[in-house]
Amino acid sequence: MKKKPFRLTPYQVQFLLIVGFSTVGYALYLRYLAIELSTVALACDAGLRSMLCKSRMLMTYLFQNSVFGIAALVIATLHFIRPSIVLLTGGLICAGFGIVLYNIALSGIAIGLLILGFARPAPATA
């Protein structure tokens, strides 16, 4: 039985573009307007209980423990072994957050593995 190669449909590519841009956009928002902005940092550290402060605290905890990079690397390895759109989407989300939120090394390796998941031999000509 011949195995079909992993190829994306145009709708899947559009979906991945939307997910990727949304993920990186939200990560940029959190980084520059919640984590690094000094007024927000001072207010949150002083005890302000808002959704932005809770998101800031959660994201800070996650990137300090390299959760984004490790999760992206695990998902990318699974995608490399057995490619699927679900694993590709999950890996793209984790790697997007990881690249923007200081887990660059592990997320960069994960992006490389996600790209290698598309590697396949050229079709044989008759």
Report the alpha-carbon distance of residue 78 to residue 99 in Å, rounded: 19
Domain that holds residue 44: 36-64
| Enclosing H/E stretch for 12 | helix 10-30
Domains contained in the chain, number: 2
Which of 64, 80, 102 is the endpoint of a domain?
Answer: 64
What is the maximal distance between C-alpha atoms in the chain?
71
The pLDDT value recorded for residue 118 is 84
- Residue 82 pLDDT grade (very low, low, confident, very high; cuts 50, 70, 90): confident
- pTM reported for the whole predicted model: 0.86
In the chain, the amino acid numbered 93 is I
Mean pLDDT for 72-95 is 93
- Residue 26 pLDDT grade (very low, low, confident, very high; cuts 50, 70, 90): very high
Mean pLDDT for 8-13 is 92
Question: Has residue 16 been placed in a domain?
Answer: no
Q: DSSP of 17-65, one letter per residue?
A: HHHHHHHHHHHHHHIIIIIS-HHHHHHHHTT---HHHHHHHHHHHHHHT
